[in-house]
Amino acid sequence: MNHSGKIGFIFLVLFLHSFCVFSEEGMWLPHLLKQLNEADMQAKGMKMTAEDIYSVNKGSLKDAVISFGGFCTGEIISNQGLILTNHHCGFRQIQYHSSVEKDYITHGFWAMTPNEELPCPGLTATFIVRIENVTDKILEGILGTTSEEVRQANIQKKIAEVGAEAIKNTHYDYVIRPFFYGNEYYMFITETFKDVRMVGAPPSSIGNFGKDSDNWMWPRHTGDFSLFRIYANAENKPAEYATTNVPFTPRHFFPINMETLKEGDFTMVFGFPGRTQQYLTSYAVKQLKENINPTRIEIRKIILDKWSENMRLSDEVRIKYAAKYAGKSNYYKKWQGENNGLVRLNTLVKKIEMENAFANKVAGNKELEKLLPDLKEHYLAIEKHTLAREVYSEAILSGIELLTLSNVFVQYLQLGPKADIQKLKSYIEKHFKDFDLKTDKKVALPLLNLYSKWNKDFLPTALKQKKIELLVNELYTQSAFTSKEKTLKLLSHIEKGNTSKIKKDPAYILAFEMANIYQNNIQPVCNQNEYKIELLSRKYIKALIENLPDYRKYYPDANGTLRVSYGIIDGYEPRDAVQYLPFTTFDGMMEKYIPNNEEFDLPPKMLELYQHKDYGPYADNGQLIICFAASNHTTGGNSGSPIINAKGHLIGLNFDRSWESTMSDIAYDATICRNIGVNIKYVLFVIDKFAGAGYLINEMKLVKEN
């Protein structure tokens, strides 16, 4: 029996109002495509059925899509478990295996035999086995009268029960998530593989060509891919890393398109989008745009400036901070684009218009007409505290690494007997592998200054009493958290039950007091109001769909679960009188090429291949297409997602959105929002012609009929 076909109430309302308007907005649940999207997808050119994409009974496309490490998407491209994902998704692994002597970041890495594939401790690949609507089971007996906090706790209990029952006597796991703010619940049964090995990665000059200047931008020329492989035990089941494990045989893998891509072609992105907030009220959007984003941007600018100064001075620091830098700079830039986009789309005004339309429609209904004023009240009530939380989290917890580590110890000691010392030890190892004291100290002074200025009402004693310069000097000369040896020594005292030393450590004292201030004075105010906001939002979205069903398109916000987006290969007009085409070429990459430049250099071998136009079978009409733009609605987490054509063949790998689309997590505009993918034929070109790893192509299935 296929229980997954059961459709939830809200989805049913959407179905009844079935919109056959052609617009690409939306991230859809794979098991509901039949009811909601199949006709629209076919009208756009899709030659498959919904059952070809998601099926519980037979192998379908979903069996070739994985959550890569829980933060990106990947796809299986051979019957030997070969994974394709982005370079930036595999980057932590590339960096983990790199050193000044074996610099895979700069030179790339290719395993020439299975023996050379590198184990990646902690890296996982997760498949979705099936999806089920569990709304009735989760909400059964949950009373509307209890407080939101109690309700959430009861729901968590229910989730644990329902999930445990579903995976009883299997090696599967489950994920149960709320949809439409908890109006519905869906369960995803998952299978997670733990032996995932690194197979190949191009040099960063290809995999991250254009770096920060080109990030979030179209036109783009980045070969943003890397290769991994899933290993399983002799029964083809998940197992911990073992030399006896063998390459995994999947239920499905993507055939690879060798046809020429055309503007207007149907495209589909299948992956794990992380988080969107399409139904935020105007009050929330205002807060995000005017307070939260500017705060985050200012803090990250300080960190990135200081880090890059030191990364330029030393190769060792450059390698240590490479992945951390890429991670921080990515959203630093995105938030700026997002704010521009919100202004440009006039999102605030449009939200207010919708809220007015809603208010008119529900006027006279005592319960519903209070929803928006109540939401407003709770958003205003947390303004100061959400900002303080942001400052604490960005500037202290993830800004000053000395305090990050100190805080890990604060949390560890709070856990008491439940604390896991092995976990802490491996955290310490990882922390110091990528830590540079001088670089961190450089960041500490301006960030503590900023904390004092912005979080005036939440100051720890040291910041009230000491000059910040003096405090920083004291922290970086006297704290044990400045070196691995001293930290481990401190830990050995703690293991013996002696905590007097740590309690005198200046970084610990500071982190401890800041954590207390956060837990007592900031977090409770946020939590209390956010519970209320959650409850009101649940009622609001339901009422919105019921009362204004045609006002906009409704679909559940991204929440890290498997989704399908679809659209076409398409350019756009970024501004007045400017038109962007949907394909970029090697010629265009050469226009950007700057020898020895940090961002736009290319390896000599690439120049040679270009000179001889040695593109092998990967060219189209004499050009090698590098990237393409399409109108699929995507977000963070969709990186590495397969871009699939009308027949289910792989045409590319999603890795970014254009600058003008970065607000699409909050407000989507079909005329300008574009996702960016790297052409699969360029990926094959790099593997084959550039890296000489053509043997990998032999295990793939290339198809040349459309």
User: Which residues belong to the active site?
Assistant: 88, 224, 639
Residue 559 interacts with ligand GLU (CB under 6 A)?
Answer: no
Instruction: Give 360's contacts (C-beta < 8 A, 6+ positions apart).
Output: none
How many Å apart are CA 643 and CA 645, to the nearest integer?
A: 7
The piece of 54-62, 512-520, 549-557, 632-640 that touches ligand GLU (CB under 6 A) is 632-640
Residue 540 interacts with ligand GLU (CB under 6 A)?
Answer: no
The piece of 305-313, 556-564, 617-625, 649-657 that touches ligand GLU (CB under 6 A) is 649-657
Print the binding letters for residues 52-91 with ligand GLU: x by CB under 6 A, - otherwise: --------------------x-------------------
**Residue 41 contacts residue 33 (beta carbons within 8 Å):** yes
How many Å apart are CA 283 and CA 67, to the nearest integer?
A: 34
Check whether the bond before 417 is cis (ω within 30° of 0). Answer: no
How near is the Cβ of 1 to ligand GLU at its closest, in Å? 35
Q: Which does 634 bind (CB under 5 to 8 A by kind): ligand GLU, ligand ARG, none?
A: ligand GLU
Residue 635 interacts with ligand GLU (CB under 6 A)?
Answer: yes
Q: Which does 208 bind (CB under 5 to 8 A by kind): ligand GLU, ligand ARG, none?
A: ligand ARG
Q: Which does 215 bind (CB under 5 to 8 A by kind): ligand GLU, ligand ARG, none?
A: ligand ARG
Residue 639 interacts with ligand GLU (CB under 6 A)?
Answer: yes
Q: Which two tokens stand for residue 558?
A: 């991204």
How near is the Cβ of 527 to ligand GLU at its closest, in Å? 28
Nearer to ligand ARG, 326 or 462 (CB): 326
How near is the Cβ of 272 to ligand GLU at its closest, in Å? 9
CA 358 to chain centre: 33
Cite the DSSP H helix spans in 496-579. 506-517, 523-547
C-alpha radius of gyration, the chain, whole number:
26
Nearer to ligand GLU, 585 or 638 (CB): 638
Residue 218 interacts with ligand GLU (CB under 6 A)?
Answer: no
β-strands 195-201, 109-110 pairing: antiparallel
Torsion of CA 472, 478, 483, 487, to 10 degrees: -120
Q: Which does 212 bind (CB under 5 to 8 A by kind): ligand ARG, ligand GLU, none?
A: ligand ARG
Nearer to ligand ARG, 173 or 599 (CB): 599
Q: Which does 637 bind (CB under 5 to 8 A by kind): ligand ARG, ligand GLU, none?
A: ligand GLU
Among 104, 518, 566, 655, binds ligand GLU (CB under 6 A): 655
The piece of 227-235, 321-329, 642-650, 651-659 that touches ligand GLU (CB under 6 A) is 651-659
How near is the Cβ of 117 to ligand ARG at its closest, in Å? 24
How many Å apart are CA 443 and CA 435, to the nearest integer?
A: 13
The residue of the chain with the least Cβ separation from ligand GLU equals: 639
Amino acid type, 490: L
The piece of 51-59, 320-328, 455-463, 650-658 that touches ligand GLU (CB under 6 A) is 650-658
- Cα–Cα separations (whole angstroms), residue 166 to 116, 129, 134, 188, 500: 39, 12, 11, 10, 48
Nearer to ligand GLU, 342 or 490 (CB): 342
Closest CA to 351 of 293, 289, 296, 297: 289
Q: Which two tokens stand for residue 607?
A: 């120049």
Q: What share of the chain is helix, strand, coil (3-state, %, to 5)?
A: 50, 15, 35
Q: Which two tokens stand for residue 345?
A: 């789309």
Residue whose entry in the numeric block shows the structure tokens 């179905």: 15
How many Å apart are CA 312 and CA 74, to the nearest integer?
A: 32
How near is the Cβ of 216 to ligand ARG at its closest, in Å? 5
Among 103, 530, 656, 660, binds ligand GLU (CB under 6 A): 656
Closest CA to 564 of 101, 198, 128, 176: 128
Nearer to ligand GLU, 184 or 660 (CB): 660
Q: How many chain residues touch ligand GLU (CB under 6 A)?
A: 10
How near is the Cβ of 174 to ligand GLU at its closest, in Å? 24
How many Å apart are CA 180 and CA 167, to the nearest integer?
A: 25
Q: Which does 399 bind (CB under 5 to 8 A by kind): ligand ARG, ligand GLU, none?
A: none
How near is the Cβ of 635 to ligand GLU at its closest, in Å? 5
How near is the Cβ of 327 to ligand ARG at its closest, in Å? 8
Residue 634 interacts with ligand GLU (CB under 6 A)?
Answer: yes
Cite the DSSP H helix spans in 548-666. 586-592, 604-611
Nearer to ligand ARG, 4 or 639 (CB): 639
- Cα–Cα separations (whole angstroms), residue 179 to 23, 25, 127, 130, 375: 22, 17, 20, 17, 19
Q: Which does 583 bind (CB under 5 to 8 A by kind): ligand GLU, ligand ARG, none?
A: none
Q: Which does 37 bind (CB under 5 to 8 A by kind): ligand ARG, ligand GLU, none?
A: none
Q: Which does 281 bind (CB under 5 to 8 A by kind): ligand GLU, ligand ARG, none?
A: none
Q: Which of helix, strand or coil describes residue 232?
A: strand
H or E stretch covering 92? helix 87-96
* Interacting residues with ligand ARG (CB under 6 A): 88, 208, 211-212, 215-216, 326, 329-330, 636, 639, 655-656
How many Å apart are CA 515 and CA 412, to the nearest integer?
A: 12
Angle at the Cα of 337 from the Cα atoms of 336 and 339, rounded to 5 degrees? 65
Phi, psi of 13 (to 5 degrees): -60, -45
Enumerate the β-bridge partners of residue 703: 257
How many Å apart are CA 322 and CA 332, to the nearest integer?
A: 15
- On the CB side of 200, CA atoms within 13 Å amount to 27
Longest dimension (CA), the chain: 74
Nearer to ligand ARG, 223 or 582 (CB): 223
Residue 636 interacts with ligand GLU (CB under 6 A)?
Answer: yes
Outline where DSSP puts E strands in 50-137: 65-68, 72-76, 82-85, 109-110, 118-119, 125-133
How near is the Cβ of 318 to ligand ARG at its closest, in Å? 15
Nearer to ligand GLU, 386 or 632 (CB): 632
The piece of 1-9, 145-153, 552-560, 637-645 that touches ligand GLU (CB under 6 A) is 637-645
Q: Which does 638 bind (CB under 5 to 8 A by kind): ligand GLU, ligand ARG, none?
A: ligand GLU
Residue 561 interacts with ligand GLU (CB under 6 A)?
Answer: no
Nearer to ligand GLU, 439 or 638 (CB): 638
The piece of 124-132, 164-172, 542-550, 630-638 that touches ligand GLU (CB under 6 A) is 630-638
Amino acid type, 377: E
The piece of 24-32, 92-100, 101-109, 629-637 that touches ligand GLU (CB under 6 A) is 629-637
How near is the Cβ of 300 to ligand ARG at its closest, in Å? 13
Nearer to ligand GLU, 479 or 664 (CB): 664
Closest CA to 362 of 350, 353, 371: 371
Q: Which two tokens stand for residue 352?
A: 């207010």
Neighbouring C-beta atoms of residue 300, cutoff 10 Å: 21
How near is the Cβ of 110 to ligand ARG at its closest, in Å? 21
CA 95 to chain centre: 19
- DSSP codes of every residue in 361-382: HHTT-TTGGGHHHHHHHHHHHT
* Chain contacts with ligand GLU (rule: CB under 6 A): 72, 634-639, 655-657
